[in-house]
Amino acid sequence: MTIQSVVIDVEHAGQLFDAPTFENVLLGSWEQVSLTTQFVTRDLLERIKRDEPEWRAYHSWELIAISLETVEMVGNVLLHHERGGGRALHEATNPELAELFERYERPLPPDAVQTFLRLPTPKDSLDTVVGACFRTALDSGARALNVLASHWRRFAEAVRWFRHFPAHLTLDDVDAIDPGPNASKDAIFQEIAAMDDLLDVAVVPDGQGFGYQAIREPDVQFAARMTYLAIEVVLTRGGNLFLNPESDVPAERYPKLYPFLVRRLSPENRSRLAAGGPYHLI
Amino acid sequence: MSVSEFDPVLVRADWVPRLRLATRILRQLERRHVYLEGITSLPHSDLPVGNGLELERLSRAWMLVDNLLGVYAMVAYQLNARTDRIAISQRLREEAVPPSREFLERAWLWSSLPEALSSGAVRPLGVTPEEYLRRLQPLTDRTLERLTDRYTRQRRFHEQYAPFAMAHRHGRAAFHLRVEVTEGPPVHIKLRHDSEGITVLRRQRSERPVQVHTLLFDQEYQDDVAAVLHNTSADIRNYSRLLAALEAGMPDFLDAIERGATGTTRGRLPYILLAAPYTADEQPIANNFTEGE
């Protein structure tokens, strides 16, 4: 039987959703999906390098769509965190995500970031260098959430078009359909003419006028980075949920610092922070 | 309705954009299918875990079916791809399974044939339009039977795999887990890791029961995906040929209605037949149509 379905009644659902290990188990199992996501993203970047223009455009849309899907996992986890559990990490609706990411685009207080990433304050926090490094790490965490939120908001509509129903016109179609002057069309043509590194434009009829979705080469490289960043954010929280102080393995014993948190620190300061935590540098 | 009664302004402003939109979305679906085939043939040895690419494949197969069903709804109900996007999804969900004959006739444009024949927009091959339609009837019946079968399989696949595809689309949030329920009393429920399958949990409200769906990437699953991709890719190619033929014929058609002329179609009619094998009597009629896959 390919699909097995069971219904768990309300009385017993708490055994799943209220279990302290629930989020940990889900995020731990998501690591496999995250590895495939990175694999597929790298493959797309390779394809894009050697593609003809038509395929470069298609693969770029795929890559950007994957980045948004991955960022939505961050959204799911943020909602789960804000609501204190009770969700399955794949049930956020688009309006919920839109509201959430609008808030997370704004500056975030360090303690909120610390709580979300489940990073304990370093034991040597009174050490000036360790304290400063930790504040920098939290600031990097805040910026990561800001930039992921901003990326989602920027491309959500385009990806919705690409994934849900990619009906569109080309610029040539628009000219053929509507050869005369048209304010909506003319505005699009002017905006597009001013764009550098354009990869693809999909014109979408909008009432009597036109809208469009465009992607540029820098968008693709940026989207790939957003995919990797979103994965790091999710795995930071997931990895720090349950630590085992008795373990002999640093990755299990200490909270994890993924690269996005320490990228702005010198190698020496990274080591100072890791030792002062103590943390496990990934 | 005669050819001269078609309004060229309406045709240019409404028909042509619709046709181009449908053509472009079909092209995008062809690309999606090629990418799907390419991604699933990647060497799995580079991946540290086994079934990740299966999920990518399933997600895109589902999307392909979803988009194609959306195209049928868009064409059959003449919906605006932009402003009626939600209506397209609603129509898709509400359409009966198996679908009505009328729906498929509209989606595959067979419903336009009687008008095209009677208007002289296409030539009825030396017989009256009524006689031509009478001879064509068994062929369209068989074509619609096959389209019904394909559409039904696509809709069932769409419904069956939706929880996994939707979870993957929103957060790539499919979890390599299995839920174990030990019947009680007391009932024990726990999650355990399982690389062989994926689980999604649906709980719309905390006061509602939880639906747990686990998908195993077994042979039945492989057969389901292979079968639906076979049908869907054939339908995409057939539909692309139909639209390409209509697009190619559009300048002549526009020219004819502006001049009030008749007999605008040259060569085969664009409608797709799926009715082979043909009897000796049917073959001459079938030769005037495009044979689908």
Mean pLDDT score, A233-248: 83
B38-69 b/e (C-beta count within 10 Å ≥ 16 → b) = ebbeeeeeebeeebbbbbbbbbbbbbbbbbbb
- For residue A113, the model assigns a pLDDT of 97
Please judge whether A32 and B176 are an interchain contact, meaning their C-beta atoms are less than 8 angstroms apart.
Answer: yes
CB B203 within 8 A of CB B211: yes
Mean pLDDT score, A162-177: 86
What is the rounded average pLDDT for all residues in chain B?
85
**A13 contact residues in B (CB cutoff 8 A):** 203, 206, 209-210
Higher pLDDT, B205 or B143: B143
Higher pLDDT, B184 or A178: A178
- For residue A135, the model assigns a pLDDT of 96
Terminal Cα distance for chain B, rounded: 33
Terminal Cα distance for chain A, rounded: 40
Higher pLDDT, A263 or B21: A263
Higher pLDDT, A237 or B85: A237
Please judge whether B66 and A164 are an interchain contact, meaning their C-beta atoms are less than 8 angstroms apart.
Answer: yes
Interface test with B, best of A27, A36, A55 (most B CBs within 10 A): A36
Q: Is B20 exposed, middle or buried (0-12, 13-18, 19+ CB in 10 A)?
A: buried
Q: Is A226 exposed, middle or buried (0-12, 13-18, 19+ CB in 10 A)?
A: buried
Lowest mean pLDDT among A146-150, B15-19, B56-60, B145-149: B15-19
Interface size, chain A vs chain B, as Cβ–Cβ contacts under 8 Å: 216
The phi, psi pair for B191, rounded to 5°, reads -100, 140
**Confidence grade of residue B121 (pLDDT, cut at 50, 70, 90):** low
- As a whole number of angstroms, the distance between CA A94 and CA B170 comes to 9
- For residue A97, the model assigns a pLDDT of 96
**B215 contact residues in A (CB cutoff 8 A):** 2-3
Asked if the model's pLDDT at residue A260 lies above 60, the reply is: yes
Please judge whether B211 and A5 are an interchain contact, meaning their C-beta atoms are less than 8 angstroms apart.
Answer: yes
Beta bridge partners of B121: none
A187-237 residue pLDDT tens:
888 999 999 999 999 888 776 677 888 999 999 999 999 999 999 999 999
Higher pLDDT, A207 or B154: B154
Nearest CA of chain A to the CA of B32: how many Å? 8
| Closest residue on chain A to B215 (Cα) | A3
Q: What does the CA dihedral B214, B219, B224, B226 come to, rounded to 10 degrees?
A: 130
- As a whole number of angstroms, the distance between CA B274 and CA B272 comes to 7
Among A99-113, B14-28, B259-273, the range of highest mean pLDDT = A99-113
Mean pLDDT score, B259-284: 80
Alpha-carbon separation of residue B8 from A169, A272, B18, B254 (angstroms): 21, 76, 15, 6
- As a whole number of angstroms, the distance between CA B291 and CA B293 comes to 7
Interface test with A, best of B64, B175, B213, B225 (most A CBs within 10 A): B175
Q: Is B183 exposed, middle or buried (0-12, 13-18, 19+ CB in 10 A)?
A: exposed
CB B200 within 8 A of CB B174: yes
Q: What pTM was estimated for this model as a whole? A: 0.92
- Tokens for B228, please give them: 């639906």
Please judge whether B28 and A28 are an interchain contact, meaning their C-beta atoms are less than 8 angstroms apart.
Answer: no
A137-146 residue pLDDT tens:
999 999 999 9
| Percent above pLDDT 70 for chain B | 88
**A204 contact residues in B (CB cutoff 8 A):** 81-82
| Closest residue on chain B to A169 (Cα) | B21
| Percent above pLDDT 70 for chain A | 99
Asked if the model's pLDDT at residue A269 lies above 90, the reply is: yes
Q: CA B28, A148, A92 angle in degrees (round to 5)?
A: 75
User: Which letter does DSSP use for residue A242 in this model?
Assistant: S
- For residue B5, the model assigns a pLDDT of 63
Q: Which residue from B52, B179, B206 is facing A35, i.e. has the nearest CB?
A: B52
A74-119 residue pLDDT tens:
999 999 899 887 777 888 889 999 999 999 999 999 999 999 999 9
Question: How many whole angstroms from its chain centre is CA B179?
Answer: 34
Tell me what ipTM this predicted complex has.
0.90
- For residue B236, the model assigns a pLDDT of 96
Alpha-carbon separation of residue B21 from A169, A202, B274 (angstroms): 6, 11, 25
Asked if the model's pLDDT at residue B2 lies above 70, the reply is: no
Q: Count of H helices and E strands in chain A?
A: 12, 5
Mean pLDDT score, A264-269: 96
**A2 contact residues in B (CB cutoff 8 A):** 215-216, 218, 220-221, 224
B216-249 residue pLDDT tens:
989 999 999 999 999 999 999 999 999 998 888 8
Pairing of strands A209-216, B197-202: unpaired
- As a whole number of angstroms, the distance between CA B1 and CA B118 comes to 7
Interface test with B, best of A1, A9, A16, A41 (most B CBs within 10 A): A16
Q: Is A266 exposed, middle or buried (0-12, 13-18, 19+ CB in 10 A)?
A: exposed
CB A226 within 8 A of CB A149: no
Q: Which residue from B42, B169, B224 is facing A2, i.e. has the nearest CB?
A: B224
What is the rounded average pLDDT for all residues in chain A?
90
Beta bridge partners of B198: B215
**A209 contact residues in B (CB cutoff 8 A):** none
**B193 contact residues in A (CB cutoff 8 A):** 25, 28-29
